[in-house]
Chains A and B, each alone.
Chain A
């Protein structure tokens, strides 16, 4: 599996807090048995209502690979379709004030890093990118920093997540399989799997 240590590219700024996964990918697109084609429907209802005035329709942000968001991004439904849709519309990493837990876990499972900035640093980064969307933004997992023309600021990335990405062990299945027989050994001592031995 690929180790991920830095994501560099242009960024898109999506303001607002508590953006839920129903908005990221409306439920009607979950009527499918694959994740194919989800990218084009990301934020579809928000975009329709914004009548073209949505960051995802702003040409200045076209081709961005980092998405900069507010607080509690990705709350609500556990649908992995949400990070899948964003990944399939070209995003490789998320920078925000905070992320909902299941969303964050889904991102890690897909090898998509997320990083949290202090509110002031985040506001400055958002303003800088909106002023000059051509500039490259760098998320450096090794250094735990985000760099832009606004400067380099500290980013919070949970230790375990950072290690999985840096080591390339973010696809958990392989890692979990490494436990081998310890899995069966554990199941052998769980009371409800063994008729509740007295």
Chain B
């Protein structure tokens, strides 16, 4: 662990050149510098935000505060809106059946119209979970600062962007000033060496990282993911890894931009075109952390050793490999024992038992973690091998309208339907309990989402087992948790 030289910034300057930066600066150093407006008296940095994404849940109060302060939106063209959290996935016919949801839809429509903000609603054909549409439209690009009133904004770091989840008062700050007051995080480089074995996915990598470093191990840090296993990943896989940085307590997470990133962006609607694309690639390349970059901390994980992982407890760090047995609290450090006991109490599982074989009643494939086309393809591969077990409710919810269209063009929806899965409309669905998709009572859900908190999926006593989409599909078919490696 070595603390590198910290770059310094001029203070309060009205205009100033980009401060010099050392040759061993990491991506975060460079992106931070490029967006620094000034140092604030509090010691924080006033950072320009290049892309602001908003949705219906955390923005209405921000617009209300703006109105109260009689302020306009400073850069309306740098904010983009969509609807995802409350939107039903069975019928999106307006007015929505839920009055409160309809009211929220109305609010974002009015606010966007009033302030000249582009809204990608269900009629646009581009609606979806905010962290799915940003990347797929080419809005998310390397070197950007991105903010959104949603903790999983870290997802966008997959492109080498600095992406922060913020609260509603900060949404107001960005609307009013296109800036945030932030403290610069430290950077922890996480190298994942080796090669993932078949049946092991990006989801298993991030679950393994969180298990290793803990749910608050990342506090104060940005996580930079690298090493052979990350380099070999597609953008969609990197999105899955960066998505759950927040579950590890990190402020944000990112992977360095490379050829995979550039090829993904080429031709996307909001990506630069023609000669500008080539100039962009030049800048993007210059941002990547060089091989000798300085970090505040470094850790390495052996990618060869990662197994399909399943969470068994009430936070994402409480997960184990599918072939392992549930931990004994007595073996854990004393400060963790209380949490483990609480988790066993809530989950009604027993130490020493295998997680494999745990019966499930619900299977959910979707969310900003695993609701992209590659996730659905992997789940469909498994769905082709059988039918959903009797008594299991299985949902497949595409992360966006574009993902849904692509899946339908490939016939995946028919594969799922034939196997007994429900094929739904795009939205956050059962990842959280703000729309009609919810667990009931003590149901156990095999879920490709990111949070297994108590009550997260809508029943105050419902239980969530986090795993990869392929593992969820396998669990749906068997009616219990199984090792997907035996199915594929």
What is the interface of chain A, defined by CB distance below 8 A to chain B? Answer: 16-18, 20, 22-23, 26-28, 30-35, 45-46, 48-49, 71-72, 75-81, 83, 98, 100-102, 105-106, 109-110, 119, 158-161, 163-164, 167, 169, 171-173, 175-177, 179-183, 185-187, 189-193, 195-198
A145–B444 CA distance with the chains assembled, in angstroms? 45
Can you name 14 A-B pairs with beta carbons within 8 Å?
A16-B338, A17-B339, A20-B315, A20-B453, A76-B151, A78-B153, A79-B58, A101-B249, A109-B167, A164-B42, A176-B179, A182-B14, A191-B34, A192-B280
Decide: B58 and A196 in contact? CB cutoff 8 A.
no
Given A186-B36, A192-B141, A17–B460 Cβ distance below 8 Å?
A: no
Among A106, A167, A169, A190, the one with the most B-chain Cβ atoms within 10 Å of its Cβ is A190
Count of chain B residues near A, Cβ 8 A? 86
Decide: B169 and A110 in contact? CB cutoff 8 A.
yes
Decide: B220 and A173 in contact? CB cutoff 8 A.
no
Nearest opposing residue in chain A for B106, CB measure: A33
Residue B183, interface by CB 8 Å: yes
Q: How far is the CB of B365 from chain A (nearest CB, A)?
A: 20
Decide: B37 and A179 in contact? CB cutoff 8 A.
yes
Q: How far is the CB of A154 from chain B (nearest CB, A)?
A: 19
- Which of B69-77, B256-264, B383-391 lies at the binding interface? B69-77
- Which of B96-104, B114-122, B319-327 lies at the binding interface? B96-104
Decide: B451 and A76 in contact? CB cutoff 8 A.
yes
Nearest opposing residue in chain B for A99, CB measure: B219
- Which residues of B22-73 have CB atoms within 8 Å of chain A's CB atoms? 34-38, 40-44, 46, 48, 50, 57-58, 60-61, 64, 69, 71
A113–B256 CA distance with the chains assembled, in angstroms? 36
Decide: A173 and B69 in contact? CB cutoff 8 A.
yes
Contacts of B315 in A (CB 8 A): 18, 20, 75
Known: A169-B41, A173-B71. 13 other contacts (CB 8 A): A22-B451, A27-B433, A28-B433, A33-B60, A48-B460, A75-B215, A75-B315, A78-B150, A100-B216, A160-B42, A160-B43, A176-B180, A185-B14
- Partner of B183 from the list A49, A158, A189 (CB cut-off 8 Å) is A158
Contacts of B50 in A (CB 8 A): 190, 192-193
Encode contact with A along B433-467: 1 for CB under 8 Å, 0 otherwise.
11000000000000000010111101011000000
- Which of B170-178, B234-242, B302-310, B410-418 lies at the binding interface? B170-178
Contacts of A106 in B (CB 8 A): 167-170
A176–B181 CA distance with the chains assembled, in angstroms? 7
Q: How far is the CB of A81 from chain B (nearest CB, A)?
A: 8
Encode contact with A along B320-355: 1 for CB under 8 Å, 0 otherwise.
000000000000000100110010000000000000
Q: How far is the CB of B242 from chain A (nearest CB, A)?
A: 16
- Partner of A191 from the list B153, B283, B338, B455 (CB cut-off 8 Å) is B283
Q: How far is the CB of A160 from chain B (nearest CB, A)?
A: 4
Given A80-B167, A167-B41, A173-B177, A33–B338 Cβ distance below 8 Å?
A: no
Decide: A191 and B143 in contact? CB cutoff 8 A.
yes
Residue B144, interface by CB 8 Å: yes
Among B150, B169, B215, the one with the most A-chain Cβ atoms within 10 Å of its Cβ is B169
- Which residues of B135-172 have CB atoms within 8 Å of chain A's CB atoms? 141, 143-144, 149-151, 153, 165-170, 172
Residue B432, interface by CB 8 Å: yes
- Partner of B101 from the list A31, A48, A83 (CB cut-off 8 Å) is A31
- Partner of B167 from the list A76, A102, A160, A183 (CB cut-off 8 Å) is A102
Given A27-B433, A196-B283, A98–B272 Cβ distance below 8 Å?
A: no
Decide: B38 and A179 in contact? CB cutoff 8 A.
yes
Nearest opposing residue in chain A for B283, CB measure: A191
A/B pair count, beta carbons within 8 Å: 226
Given A18-B216, A18-B339, A77-B151, A27–B434 Cβ distance below 8 Å?
A: yes
Given A31-B104, A33-B104, A172–B249 Cβ distance below 8 Å?
A: no
Decide: B151 and A105 in contact? CB cutoff 8 A.
no
Encode contact with A along B381-424: 1 for CB under 8 Å, 0 otherwise.
00000000000000000000000000000000000000000000
Decide: A183 and B216 in contact? CB cutoff 8 A.
no
Decide: A26 and B455 in contact? CB cutoff 8 A.
yes
Q: How far is the CB of B56 from chain A (nearest CB, A)?
A: 9
Contacts of A30 in B (CB 8 A): 57, 85, 434
Q: How far is the CB of A57 from chain B (nearest CB, A)?
A: 16
Decide: B173 and A173 in contact? CB cutoff 8 A.
yes
Given A102-B151, A109-B170, A196-B276, A22–B454 Cβ distance below 8 Å?
A: yes
- Partner of A160 from the list B13, B183, B283 (CB cut-off 8 Å) is B183
A180–B335 CA distance with the chains assembled, in angstroms? 48
Residue B251, interface by CB 8 Å: yes
Q: How far is the CB of A44 from chain B (nearest CB, A)?
A: 8
A18–B173 CA distance with the chains assembled, in angstroms? 28
Residue B86, interface by CB 8 Å: yes
Given A27-B432, A183-B177, A189–B18 Cβ distance below 8 Å?
A: yes
A119–B292 CA distance with the chains assembled, in angstroms? 38
Q: How far is the CB of B170 from chain A (nearest CB, A)?
A: 6
Decide: B169 and A26 in contact? CB cutoff 8 A.
no
Contacts of A31 in B (CB 8 A): 86, 98, 100-101, 104, 434
Residue B279, interface by CB 8 Å: yes
Contacts of A102 in B (CB 8 A): 151, 165-167, 246
Given A160-B42, A190-B48, A101–B220 Cβ distance below 8 Å?
A: yes
A190–B43 CA distance with the chains assembled, in angstroms? 23
Residue B107, interface by CB 8 Å: yes
